[in-house]
Chain A
């Protein structure tokens, strides 16, 4: 699938934004947050900033942005619509949560809205994941690990941001760092399970079933229907060369999970200014790694319609190349 930069930024930024909202809500309930209005101001700006720019970015690829409000109407069947509804619902809840932490922290109101904000943050990211996971046409996405992967990546990046924020307002917080290490480890494990699942899965559709001609023999593409690429080939024909995919997966391991894990583990043992620097490195690394992870999520996915244009995937080995 064509990796549109607007959608990559949207899913990574909103994932981290909702993840941070979730992490802040958990930290507030657990009493890990500093007694500082500036902390909550920065936290709110950061979290809502990532969510807002992410959502705005998601409208960039629309053909008619002015009609985006219509996307809230079909929540009965459409995960995209549900995502929109949940995002719109989460926004005011998050605002009340942040306002309560700024003005009346430690009350039943702030606690209740912390729980509500955490639930809606998780629900919104789940809806985003289900947009992809519900598509039977893209076997790499129609996979049990997609939903947990989006949730785990969102929570992990959210907690990485939380650790960085906490460090601006006090010494390294052992509890927050430990939870973050666990979140990174879980997210990495799920990503490994995802890649293992997609690598061993067989495509449900072949040139033989796509044309129905399998009853007579094996099918190979002969005449393409048109000389130039059409919309389908531009949108769904994107493929990343396998040798690059292997290297890019290593980049994801290193930047999204490995480096942030090591850096944050070191903060537990160090004192002074160094933990802050390490937390910053962990955050930049995790976010960069997530962008690569999301790019691969699209670029590695093959839409079944391409079987009509390219035949069976096995027949393509050896001729794989980076396409635009």
Chain B
């Protein structure tokens, strides 16, 4: 049923830390690996080893540069993973003519019932985040399942019952949990770090949150940290200078 369920008590989603993401694409690769054999399998590729490879992925890692006039974000690179936001107000669900696209009442996860999908692609048009990708080979729409076949999977160790992208992130930039519970670890992170929604002006109320990059120490412009300060270090002692540099970080 494409009518949205009553808002439940649980809203599972991801929190992505843009401060520490290094843009390694491991989350996307492990997502592809797991889901190519999981709930939404197969994730078809076309011409995978040829000149024009293409295929269905649930997670894409963009790269942006942020600059401002003050120069304190001069040329900062931000790696930006993007997947389904499991929105509270998902138009991709309500536009679906068949009921294939649905939002679970119990945890807010947005899924596609591939047996009902007619492949009209309207849901992908209704999504502002580009979270849905059509599988031309299967003739149905595919999307992030929040690894529904991992997070409730009792055959896995409890520590592994998180989405594949979260478990694989080498720097811990991805967090999974219940965003509706203000006491949850993810909700605390969002509160502490001013986590935000993407495209809030469209009103989709995404569940996933992004943690902004922390301010960078100024290098070059402003105060020169290597300049000789009268009351700091003996300029003749290389060792003390090294210690000073080490502790000044």
> Interface readout for A201-216 with B: 1 if CB under 8 Å, 0 if not?
0001101011111011
Tally of A-B residue pairs with Cβ under 8 A? 203
Question: For residue B98, which residues in chain A have a CB less than 8 angstroms away from its CB?
Answer: 67, 70-71, 73-74, 81
Contact status B2-A74, CB under 8 Å: yes
| Cβ B198 vs Cβ A210 within 8 A | yes
Instruction: Determine the residue in chain B with the shortest Cβ distance to A58.
Output: B120
Is B118 a contact of A205 with CB atoms below 8 Å? no
Contact A213 B212 (CB under 8 A): yes
Q: Are A64 and B95 in contact (CB under 8 A)?
A: no
Tell me whether A64 and B64 are in contact (CB under 8 A): no
Give A77 Cβ to nearest chain B Cβ, in Å. 4
Chain A 116-155, CB-CB to B under 8 Å as 1, else 0, gives 0000000000000001001111100000000000000000
CA distance A230 to B98 in the complex (A): 25
A77 near B201 with CB under 8 A, answer no
Query: Which of B55-63, B153-161, B173-181, B225-233 forms part of the interface with chain A?
Result: B55-63
Known: A64-B139, A222-B77. A71 touches B120 (CB 8 A): yes
Contact indicator B125/A236 (Cβ below 8 Å): yes
Closest CB in chain A relative to B221 CB, distance in Å? 14
Which of A1, A84, A308 contacts B130 (CB under 8 A)? A308
- Is A228 a contact partner of B201 (Cβ separation < 8 A)? no
A151 vs B91: C-alpha distance in the bound complex, in angstroms?
24
Contact call B120/A305, Cβ cutoff below 8 A: no
Q: How far is the CB of A228 from chain B (nearest CB, A)?
A: 5
**Cα distance A141–B197 in the bound complex, in angstroms:** 24
B143 to chain A: closest CB distance in Å? 11
Q: Pick from A212, A218, A304: contact of B128, CB below 8 A.
A: A304
Kindly state whether residue B240 has any CB partner on chain A within 8 Å.
no
Q: Which residue of B lies closest to A80 (CB)?
A: B97
Cβ of B82 and Cβ of A308 under 8 Å apart?
yes
- B62 and A304 contacting across the interface, CB-CB below 8 Å: no
Q: A73-B99, A217-B66 are in contact. Are A80 and B122 (CB under 8 A)?
A: yes
Is A68 positioned at the interface, with any CB of B under 8 Å from its CB? Answer: yes
CB–CB A212/B196 < 8 A:
yes
Whether A136 touches B203, Cβ cut-off 8 Å, given contacts A73-B99, A79-B95, is: yes
Q: Which residues of chain A are near B63, meaning CB under 8 Å? A: 221-225
Q: What residues on B are CB-neighbors of A64 within 8 Å?
A: 117-119, 139-140
* A314 in contact (CB, < 8 A): no
Given known contacts A78-B97, A216-B68, is B62 in contact with A221 (CB within 8 Å)? yes
Partner of A229, one of B54, B65, B117: B54
Q: 8 Å CB contacts to A: which residues of B121-152?
A: 121-122, 124-130, 133-136, 138-141
Task: Report how many residues on chain A are interfacial, defined by Cβ distance under 8 Å.
Answer: 59
Q: Which residue of A lies closest to B47 (CB)?
A: A228
Which residues of chain B have C-beta atoms less than 8 A from A205's C-beta? 128, 199, 201-202
Alpha-carbon gap, A308 to B61, bound state (A):
10
Min CB distance A83 to B, Å, is 8
Instruction: For the complex formed, measure the closest distance between the CB of A213 and the CB atoms of chain B, giving whole angstroms.
Output: 5
Q: How far is the CB of A297 from chain B (nearest CB, A)?
A: 14
Q: In the complex, are the beta carbons of B118 and A71 less than 8 A apart?
A: yes
Residue from the list B67, B124, B198 in contact with A212, Cβ < 8 A: B198
Q: Say whether B62 contacts A70, CB under 8 Å.
A: no
By beta carbon, the residue of chain B nearest A213 is: B66
Residues of B within 8 A of A76 (CB): 2-3
Set of chain A residues within 8 Å of B64, measured between Cβ atoms:
207, 211, 213, 219-222
Closest B residue to A136 using CB positions: B202
Report if A62 contacts B (CB, 8 A): yes
Bound-state CA distance A79–B2 (Å) is 12
| Complex Cα–Cα for A64 and B120 (A) | 8
Residues of B with C-beta under 8 A to A228: 52-54
A72, A81, A227, A235: the one within 8 Å of B134 (CB): A235
Smallest beta-carbon distance A102→chain B, Å: 34
Whether A304 contacts B95 by the Cβ 8 Å rule is no
Q: Which residue of A lies closest to B63 (CB)?
A: A223
Chain A nearest CB: distance from B58 CB in Å? 12
Whose C-beta in chain A lies nearest to the C-beta of B209? Answer: A212
Contact A135 B124 (CB under 8 A): no
Q: How far is the CB of A56 from chain B (nearest CB, A)?
A: 15
Q: Which 10 A-B pairs have the closest CB atoms?
A: A63-B119, A63-B139, A217-B68, A223-B63, A81-B97, A71-B97, A70-B98, A225-B60, A305-B130, A77-B94
Q: List 25 A-B contacts (CB under 8 A).
A: A63-B140, A67-B117, A67-B118, A68-B118, A76-B2, A80-B120, A81-B97, A134-B91, A135-B125, A209-B199, A215-B212, A216-B68, A219-B65, A221-B62, A221-B63, A224-B63, A225-B28, A225-B60, A225-B82, A226-B57, A228-B54, A235-B124, A235-B125, A304-B202, A308-B82
Given contacts A74-B1, A136-B91, 7 further A-B contacts (CB under 8 A): A62-B118, A63-B136, A63-B138, A77-B93, A77-B95, A220-B67, A222-B64
